[in-house]
Amino acid sequence: MTVLEETTKKESLWDKSGELSGVLTAVGILALTRIGQLVMIWWLNGGVAEPRSIWERLLIWDAGWFLRVAMDGYPEGYTYSATGQLEGNELAFFPVYPMLIRAGAALGIDPSAAALTVAWLASVCAAIALHLLGSSLYSKRAGWALVAICCSAPASVVLSMAYSESLFIALVAGMFVAAHRRVWWAAGLLGLLTALSRPTGAAAALGLGVAALLALKHDDQPKWKPLAAAAAALAGVPLYLGWVAYRVGDLTAWFKIQTAGWGTSFDYGESTGKFLWTTLRSGDGWVPMSVALILLVALAAAGVALAQKPWLPLAVYGVVAMILVYGQAGFYHSKPRLLLPVLLTLLPAVVAAARARPRVAVLSIVAWALFGLWFGAYLVTVWPYTL
């Protein structure tokens, strides 16, 4: 072995060791946020009129829908009330997370335990993927900051719940890491799974499509690889919506079910605008006010992020995802949760934390985490409405 080969081998081993150390640190940061979240839930749970166990708190609201899909499957068609009114049903929920719950139950795990196990394991994968994405785009410190800021955001409580956000973040961040590193088979597979996990997977697929187009100009690999990856991701959401349409016998079935069950429809931001206008004028209720401020701050942060010219595929995904979140009607207090996987809104804080002195960065992120973890705990213990 020549001196050059030996040196190259040592540098490769050093890089792998450093990346492993960075990944372990990212998982440690996630663990701190999740433990802190559970402590907050336990603390607030003791002060409510009808306390529940922490386990029950993590299995409320949408968790029940996911469990029904996992164990009972999807219904054959529409669901109606006793008065004949169309209601929401399990067809509104995309299949990847319920399939993983079902797989866990098939191994003999209690379905509720399987739902939380999948969500928690997905949170670990999300932390790893977020660190790798931040490190690939900026620096190792940025990778850690992205993990800390995302996993302690005001709606990050869903990362501990039987919700699909932890899985979606893991998939979308992993997809972008694979695309940035030109591992197109992984990008395509993760992109397809992302698109079959949540409706906003369509935005992620568009982001991957942009990455594929960029690769056609600057990559020496065969052109079909990035194109195939983008095609796989772009097919995901239409495949599921088409399957629902076929199952029900109505081309717009999924949209009707969403509207009937959760009031979700795309109204070009009219409902969001009315909510912001009414809430900021009246100042009625601190939760509505805080959600309104979160929505405005997220918009401003996205503007700053775009001014900093982030990686174009991530920017396209973020902008399209935000249009979907702000442009749809629905429960206003769910919007911070829907914004959590967008990532674009977090980039200015991530870049600032990576450039700041370590002590300043740590203190700033801890302050952010204290509010974010407390806010999420409040929503699942005291706030009476769905998250």
Do the Cβ atoms of 38 and 160 come closer than 8 Å?
A: yes
Give the separation between CA 332 and CA 264, rounded to whole angstroms: 11
Give the separation between CA 154 and CA 40, rounded to whole angstroms: 12
CA–chain centroid gap for 216, Å, is: 28
Do the Cβ atoms of 68 and 77 come closer than 8 Å?
A: no
Reported as a pLDDT band with limits 50, 70 and 90, residue 11 is: very low
pLDDT given at position 15 = 58
Using the structure block, give the residue that is written with the tokens 């219904």. Answer: 75
Mean pLDDT along residues 314-319: 98
Give the separation between CA 225 and CA 182, rounded to whole angstroms: 9
Using CA atoms, how far residue 6 sits from 10, 12, 17, 219, in Å, is 6, 10, 16, 28
CA angle in degrees (0–180, nearest 5) for 353-355-360: 55
Q: Could you report the per-residue pLDDT of 63-79, keeping only the tens digit for each?
A: 999 999 999 999 999 99
> For residue 86, which phi and psi values (nearest 5 degrees)?
-65, 135
| pLDDT for residue 161 is more than 90 | yes
| pLDDT for residue 254 is more than 50 | yes
Q: Could you report the per-residue pLDDT of 348-358, keeping only the tens digit for each?
A: 999 999 999 99
| pLDDT for residue 328 is more than 60 | yes
Mean pLDDT along residues 355-383: 96
pLDDT given at position 287 = 93
pLDDT given at position 380 = 94
Give the separation between CA 190 and CA 179, rounded to whole angstroms: 10
pLDDT given at position 5 = 40
| pLDDT for residue 2 is more than 70 | no
Do the Cβ atoms of 107 and 67 come closer than 8 Å?
A: no
> For residue 329, which phi and psi values (nearest 5 degrees)?
-80, 160
Using CA atoms, how far residue 273 sits from 227, 260, 278, in Å, is 38, 22, 9
| pLDDT for residue 16 is more than 70 | no
Residue 62 CB coordination number (10 Å): 22
> Would you state the structure tokens that stand for residue 344, as one six-digit string?
């674009």
| pLDDT for residue 8 is more than 50 | no
pLDDT given at position 33 = 98
| pLDDT for residue 185 is more than 90 | yes
Reported as a pLDDT band with limits 50, 70 and 90, residue 14 is: very low
| pLDDT for residue 376 is more than 70 | yes
Do the Cβ atoms of 119 and 94 come closer than 8 Å?
A: no
Task: Spell 28-52 as b/e; 16+ CB within 10 A means b.
Answer: ebbeebbebbbebbeebbeeeeeee
pLDDT given at position 10 = 39
Q: Could you report the per-residue pLDDT of 201-233, keeping only the tens digit for each?
A: 999 999 999 999 999 987 777 899 999 999 999
Q: Could you report the per-residue pLDDT of 143-155, keeping only the tens digit for each?
A: 999 999 999 999 9
